[in-house]
Amino acid sequence: MPSDARGDDFHLAPHPRIAPPRGPVVLLILDGVGVGPGDAWDAVASAPTPVLDRLRREALTRTLRAHGTAVGLPSDADMGNSEVGHNALGAGRVYDQGAKLVDRAIAEGTIWSGVWAELTSFVREHGGALHLIGLLSDGNVHSHERHLHALLRRAAEEGLGKVRVHVLLDGRDVPETSALIYVDRLEQVLAELREAAGVDFRIASGGGRMVTTMDRYEADWRIVERGWRAHVIGEGRGFRSAREAIEAYRAEQPGVTDQFLPPFVIVDERGRPVGPIEDGDGVVFFNFRGDRAIEISRAFTEGDGFRGFDRGRTPRVFYAGMMLYDGDLRIPEHYLVAPPQIARTMGEFLARNGIAQFACSETQKFGHVTYFWNGNRSGKFDDESEEYLEIPSDRVPFEQRPWMKSAECADATIEAIRGGRYRFIRVNFAAGDMVGHTGSLDAARLAVAAVDLSIGRVLPVVLEAAGTLVVTADHGNSDDMVQRDAEGRPKRDADGRIRPLTSHTLNPVPFFVLDGSGRRLALRDDLPQAGLANVAATLLQLLGRRPPAEYESGLLED
């Protein structure tokens, strides 16, 4: 983790060589639009993108690293994601991120002191059960199964007699129908602990992540309600095991992927749920990433003022997150591992210097250009100089409207530019990522085409205003829509069907700068491993300011 400059010195000195543009600096973040293999299964390369093609010809152009160690993840085998990507973009530095922090806390044993000790004491004192809820996979974007296994083993070592696991099925950051791999591995761990320690540990409920529990940005509270009814109330379709539930749903809905499997409840031989959450229980939500953890955390911890949905019975429990999911709102109050402390972000520097800024996206990515961009901080730094605009996302499957709210985001950007107030404008176009996660190649091509069309509407307005356009992405996704073998060929099922890829990619992302103010700009050629963390300093250079000394280097020649 970097050592930040401290104190109240937020002054941004004028850049010694680069003058400010007459118009605004406009950053367009094309979520999930990386630089892929360039073949027919690369939805970015195979979509009609005349505007991106123009930028490749006319703009300053390079690629940036957006995964692994470049964004604070444990290794370069780890995919980037929107959370860590926007943290790096806004912070201008690389911070150790969720998975790495949890891994370290487990390895060093620090996770078992503090809140964990309070939680387990509460469970023993009240004779309750420990419930572990979270995404079951090794995708390492929201969670990792090894963290769940470590919690289970520690609970057994400490003599907790009853643990229930509520599994959210992935199929998004891992292969789309891989749930049984993770369920079987979890069942093996549970069986080993039952045999060795004589404990009552088992799976109690579950469901696909896109329909159960893991909503974000209040896009659809019904998703959280379904999870609440399965995990807490024990209501829902009953099965004797998670494997039985998954196999039954797949048989009934051919082609359904794990992320959309309906919720289920595990029942005993008499049809009674084996693990509803009761007064005196402890609950850990073991995802480390915050965006899809906040709403379920609120459902457990908010009092009578909660308005997300009718909770019905609300048990009195000790609730903890794997991490602190919202630092400003303190959600949740209790957490096992402290998140990275990100201060002195670009947004804060601009606010402290009175530089007006505008941030916009549709609901699905609104928190990324605000909360995550600002270093996991809710709200504005300065109400006078900042404006944030959320455009409500449609509540339909993304592949059915793959253009999403690209046009509306472009409308808002154009209005912000023409208004003349803002010096820095940042906008996230969500379609490349959200549609890429569906695995639909045709829909992803349409999504990328819609985003390209939107850039084409914004570009001339930036140039007319004598501003500067910067285009990049937070990670890859639509740039590779198939699972590949070691030779890079698409993998196929036994029936010959090509296996889609629904996860992010390890590919780099594009970076374009097109200046409309007549300045002579050039990219440095000595930063081949530059990543997203280099963008903040570059944006400050383009604004005619000298970047803070603690930031990663700017990409422009000084």
- pLDDT (tens digit per residue) in 168-187: 999 999 999 999 999 999 99
Contact present, 205 and 166 (Cβ < 8 Å): yes
More confident residue, 360 or 502: 360
CA-wise closest residue to 315 among 150, 137, 131? 131
CA-wise closest residue to 481 among 500, 498, 504, 497? 500
Phi, psi dihedral angles at 541 (to 5 degrees): -60, -45
Cα separation, 373 vs 380, in Å, equals 11
State whether residue 101 is helix, strand or coil.
Answer: helix
Element (H, E) at 349: helix 346-352
HEC string for 493-515: CCCCCECECCCCECCCEEEEEEE
Cα separation, 278 vs 27, in Å, equals 48
Categorize the per-residue pLDDT at 328 as very low, low, confident or very high, splitting at 50, 70 and 90: low
Segment 337-355 shows an average pLDDT of 93
Written as six digits, the tokens of 350 are: 């601009």
Give the model's pLDDT for residue 315: 97
Going across the sheet that includes 282-285, the strands are 238-239, 264-266, 200-208, 162-169, 130-136, 282-285, 318-323, 335-337
Mean residue pLDDT of the chain comes to 95
Q: For the segment 22-61, what is each residue's pLDDT rounded down to a tens digit?
A: 999 999 999 999 999 999 999 999 999 999 999 999 999 9
Judge if pTM exceeds 0.85. no
Segment 190-212 shows an average pLDDT of 97
More confident residue, 253 or 494: 253
DSSP label at 309?
S
Cα separation, 74 vs 460, in Å, equals 41
What residues does 476 pair with on adjacent strands? 505
Cα separation, 525 vs 22, in Å, equals 27
What residues does 515 pair with on adjacent strands? 468
What residues does 137 pair with on adjacent strands? none
Q: Quote the crossing angle between the two packed helices 406-419 and 441-464, to the nearest 10°.
A: 10
What residues does 284 pair with on adjacent strands? 132, 320
Answer whether residue 459 shows pLDDT above 90.
yes
Q: Which residues of 21-48 are buried (b: 16+ CB within 10 A; e: fewer)?
A: bebbbbbbbbbbbbbbeeeebbbbbbbe
Answer whether residue 2 shows pLDDT above 50.
no
Task: Tell me, yes or no, if 82 is annotated catalytic.
Answer: yes
Q: Kindly name the residue from 82, 143, 385, 503 that is annotated as catalytic.
A: 82
Answer whether residue 106 shows pLDDT above 50.
yes
CA-wise closest residue to 67 among 346, 475, 375, 437? 475
State whether residue 365 is helix, strand or coil.
Answer: helix
Query: Would you say the C-alpha torsion 297, 303, 309, 315 has a positive or negative sign?
Result: positive
CA-wise closest residue to 369 among 249, 460, 473? 473
Question: What amino acid is encoded at 286 in this protein?
Answer: F
In order of their start, the domains of the chain are: 25-97+341-542 (3.40.720.10), 99-337 (3.40.1450.10)
Give the model's pLDDT for residue 218: 85
Segment 284-294 shows an average pLDDT of 92
Cα separation, 151 vs 174, in Å, equals 22
Segment 396-407 shows an average pLDDT of 96
Percentage of residues in the chain with pLDDT exceeding 90?
88
* Residue located via tokens 């699972």: 483
Segment 353-357 shows an average pLDDT of 98
Contact present, 437 and 483 (Cβ < 8 Å): no
Contact present, 295 and 225 (Cβ < 8 Å): no
Cα separation, 306 vs 299, in Å, equals 7
